[in-house]
Structure 1
């Protein structure tokens, strides 16, 4: 069993966590000093004296990079046993919960085991709001129900580590990217409830609300931008073809064909980042099968709202596209790319 702790500018709670872990778990403790600097060196030296392995970044590189540094180190060990459990160094994860997630990771190999906080009691508003928003967005995009998408307490089997090192993301967005990659890799998610602990109103957190939130939501933002550009093409061609042919099905089909070719190229290159030829051969048939399905849904909804109940063409198009947007993201993430 290995406990991996990324740490940036810790306080004495790191030392306390080490003592409590050593009393409760028979585990190798690997700590990554993510460029904390000379003022914090004594805490990492104390960790070494306690028998921990300490890896050091000379400059701050972010939590995602610190985790990948730890995973790479563990991959090079001669014969690691058990599983890997990742925990934060700021006292938010209780040793009893760390132990429980570690044991679950051993019992459920090839699962990502999540320690899910329930956000009851005295929880800072930004944490409650941020986790609620991320949970809703993640659920809508993937169809998966994860209560705490931002938890840092996670357990993995050793067979996952090589792939985990290749998931993009250097800072807090890495943990969201990991969950987005789980379904692609065939890793079920197992979420176990843990205590919610926020000390001193979570002042020790190094999460940057604007910059890190932007990176967490970047996959969704890129998909939205791609969809907006594709929608602009689709809208323009729809009205042009409707005026030219006076036939709704021809207008819907022609506009969607052109906009979908553009959308596929954008999503493959910039959103889901599958660039090699084999990936194109796999994704293109699935993408255009999805296009056909959405085309039929698109036409059916527009026929109902425009020709059936008499909505103007623009209003009918807006209602239809809004209804199909999240379905399209979820289907592309889960089945196409």
Structure 2
């Protein structure tokens, strides 16, 4: 029996090397014997590493092609259920030397002390020569995470070293995302349900690791895919609003000045409907009751319009062009509404 037999380690692996073997040895030495690994489409010459860890007692599942880290993590979790059984806690890690067995044990200890919490291993990024890119990328992501999550802070949103209780297993399995976006989506969803505890871990192995499959710019953009889709659908709805405003203003031109009001209401009704459809099926890919969502979306939509109009009117006394005031207010409301739609209108309950 190991010291951490109530913990299962989940490891997605793509093109592993000797460090996977070393990591398993290190985990066994510390009492971790329940480990599930996903081979995410690695080449034939790397299969020897999976065969070796299987001999060491690790459960392995193979993907015929690369599916992405998110899919690999869900596969490892299902494999653990089938081949290892139920567990109180789950810890996700990587195979390429980013997180040491010592750091994994730190997360496990914190998880045992806080069994109802989501534990995140947090790296420290310093503004040093050769590390400035990662420092600024992490700083930008922390800010972006805070803006898109109701002001909640997370010192290392893209850390793959996480521990969570069995109560979050169902959420982990149903969270969407194929690649690194899965990790952010799961973090977003988890912090809505349980407190987050952070554990300082080493960042040196990550900084010198040359075989990491993480592409800083491309994958960071992909992690926020839901937000970029929301930005796209919002712009499409805005185009609909402008086009139909022009059409309706022309149709109701005989009504005089009231034609602007009528055209605005009609155009907003159409653009709001388009926005709801696009956000439901593209941005948030919701599978929940459309009736409930439509009511909530309508409430948010009307409140957003009212808030924009009222705030612009109140702040029009400021000696700044009204168009600039409106642009600032609408930008702030854009992020506020994104959070509300993500966590209330289209939220998984």
Bucket of the pairwise TM-score, normalised by the shorter protein = 0.7 to 0.9
1:104 corresponds to 2:110: yes
Q: 2:3 maps to which residue?
A: none
Specify the alignment match of 1:269 in structure 2: 281
The question of 1:168 aligning with 2:168 is answered: no
Cα distance, 1:261–1:109 mapped onto 2, change above 3 Å:
farther
Seen in structure 2, the aligned counterparts of structure 1 residues 312 and 250 have a Cα distance that, compared at 3 Å, is: farther
1:56-67 mapped onto 2 (5 Å cutoff): 56-67=62-73
Report the CA distance shift for 1:247/1:145 in structure 2 as closer, same or farther (over 3 A): farther
Residue of structure 1 equivalent to 2:312: 302
The question of whether the paired residues in 1 share the 8 Å contact of 2:99 and 2:206 is answered with no
Counterpart position of 2:215: 208
User: 3-state SS of the aligned residue for 1:55?
Assistant: strand
Matches of 2:277 and 2:336, distance apart in 1: 19
Root mean square deviation, CA, Å: 3.0
> Where in structure 2 are the equivalents of 1:63-212 lying within 5 Å?
63-77=69-83, 79-120=85-126, 124-143=131-150, 144-183=152-191, 186-198=193-205, 201-212=208-219
User: How many angstroms apart in 1 are the aligned matches of 2:211 and 2:131?
Assistant: 12
Aligned residues: 333
Partner Cα distance (1:253, 1:317) in 2: 18
Contact (CA 8 Å) 2:12, 2:93: kept in 1 or not? Answer: yes
How far apart are the structure 2 equivalents of 1:104 and 1:173?
Answer: 25
Q: Normalising by the residue count of structure 2, what TM-score does the alignment of the two structures yield?
A: 0.83
- Return the alpha-carbon distance in structure 2 between the equivalents of residues 238 and 323 of structure 1: 24
TM-score calculated relative to the size of structure 1: 0.86
Distance in 1 between the 2:269 and 2:134 partners? 42
CA gap 1:73/1:29 in 2 versus in 1, 3 angstroms: same
Per-residue Cα deviation, 1:244-273 (whole angstroms, up to 9, x for no partner): 536998787665444323222221121111
Structure 1 residues not aligned, in runs of 5+: none
SS at match of 2:148: helix
Alignment match, 2:340: 331
